Chains A and B, each alone.
Chain A
Amino acid sequence: MQDIIAILRDYGLLLAIGQFPEGPIGGLALTLILALSGLLLSFPLSVLIGVGRISPNPAVARLAAAFVSVVRALPLLMLIFWAYFIVPLIIGQTVSGLTTVIVALVVYETAYLAEVVRAAILALPKGQVEASRSLGLSYVQTMKDIILPQALFNAIPSILNQFISLVKNTSVAYIISVDELTYAAYQVNAQLLTKPVEVYVILAATYFIICFSLNRLVKLVERRIHTSRQAPIAAEAAA
């Protein structure tokens, strides 16, 4: 325990924010930045792909489904390798490790979030689309004004859950030396040499505290959403 406190005293700031403000930001702060930008950038893409999955246009639906099933069949680590080697080839210049990781996380997360979006749309009563189309609203208007606002609101807990797994998944950035929390801990361990258990206990505890708190938040939000909207008429089942 004393060792842990000593490590935290000496390296706590490094683990929390990296070299910042003298050098680049790192540690836990970078982990959260990676997860947050991964979520924010993948969100609009996942709405497009999720809607595409259930598009009445079979070509669009098949393309979106292919993207989802390919990405979901690959380990995240492999996407990082791909982004690491392929992105520079495509754009013709080297990219930073940070960009590489964000590209990989966005591609990966888009596939999973798209499924969340799709499920949320399919969970809405069929009558919503019918009522909207019967009023003369187009397919696009129906999606934008009727379906997505409801589906995305209902999906908030699932989206937060995706964020939690994203926080954990950022740890693979360590493989290409991006200085997020896991890599920072790895370096601290390399300097200390004799205290791997203590260092990795700190690492595990940090992930645990973040993800556990986020989990509690999800539960809270779930309850809020549940009470803010009673079930949309039990009679639906009788239809």
Chain B
Amino acid sequence: MIVFENVDKWYGTYHALNNVNETIGKGEVVVICGPSGSGKSTLIRTVNRLEPIQKGRITIDGRDVNGADVNVNALRSGIGFVFQQFNLFPHLSVVRNVMLAPMRVHKVPEKTARETAMDLLDKVGLAHKADEFPPRLSGGQQQRVAIARALAMKPPVMLFDEPTSALDPELVGEVLNVMKQLASEGMTMLCVTHEMGFAREVADRVIFMDGGAVLERAAPEDFFQRPQHPRARKFVADIRH
């Protein structure tokens, strides 16, 4: 459903994505990993056009993301995006964070939006925090709200950019559990993460990037046990310490 074809991206003269070709099928869970600066964030940010590309094509269900006829707001509303830093809206209560986009983008009536938001908060285990303000929640709770906020738009695809990297170790599990549940419900997911356990348990595939290029793609077990590319070997050794 998401297809990258010969995608190249430059930041000025810096070649950030180098001829990326990937296909992510419907319902697939794909984990992207690689050293810092390898272009992982850049890659998933091109999917919802947070970053433009200079060459190649990215399509979702056959539609060119960068097509001239594409309404960028409509495009983005169908792609859930979860950030490393959560980026909740601190001036809105938790439930308002989740209600906002459906009300503004899909013109859902407030009452319906609230019901949906409460269901989603319940799903991520935070219905009791509905009226709190985000700065008063722990990082793990904030990230779960951020996932609920993205799900409120009922997107067929979810993108995660290191969703657990900013969390204290003891809070990582609660976020991964929500992600695992999503995966088991058949959500198409593209996740930048170094969580080996998560990748092994739920990912269909691991993509390894370095220097803006995809150097290896493999089943999680193969990737972590028998990485092929020398840089992938070094990377796997490093994250295992």
* A residues neighboring B (CB under 8 Å): 125, 127-128, 130-138, 141, 145-146, 149-150, 153, 229-230, 232-233, 235-236, 238-239
Given A134-B48, A153-B91, CB of A236 within 8 Å of CB of B85 = yes
Nearest CB of chain A from residue B45's CB, rounded to whole Å: 9
A150 to B91, Cβ gap below 8 A? yes
Q: Which residues of B contact A238 (CB under 8 A)?
A: 85, 166
Q: Which residues of A contact B91 (CB under 8 A)?
A: 149-150, 153
B87 to A135, Cβ gap below 8 A? no
B90 to A136, Cβ gap below 8 A? no
B105 to A235, Cβ gap below 8 A? no
A145 to B100, Cβ gap below 8 A? yes
* B residues neighboring A (CB under 8 Å): 48, 50, 73-79, 81, 83-91, 100-101, 104-105, 135, 139, 142, 146, 149-150, 153, 166
Query: In the bound complex, what is the Cα–Cα distance between A239 and B166 (angstroms)?
Result: 9
Q: Which of A127, A141, A145, A149 meets B87, CB within 8 Å?
A: A127
Q: Which residues of B contact A133 (CB under 8 A)?
A: 50, 73, 76
Nearest CB of chain A from residue B52's CB, rounded to whole Å: 13
Q: Which residues of A contact B78 (CB under 8 A)?
A: 136
Q: Which residues of B contact A153 (CB under 8 A)?
A: 91
Q: Which of B75, B100, B104, B139 meets A233, CB within 8 Å?
A: B139
A131 to B87, Cβ gap below 8 A? yes
Q: Which residues of A contact B150 (CB under 8 A)?
A: 134-135
Q: Which residues of A contact B105 (CB under 8 A)?
A: 135-137, 141
Nearest CB of chain A from residue B112's CB, rounded to whole Å: 17
Q: Which residues of A contact B85 (CB under 8 A)?
A: 125, 127, 233, 235-236, 238-239
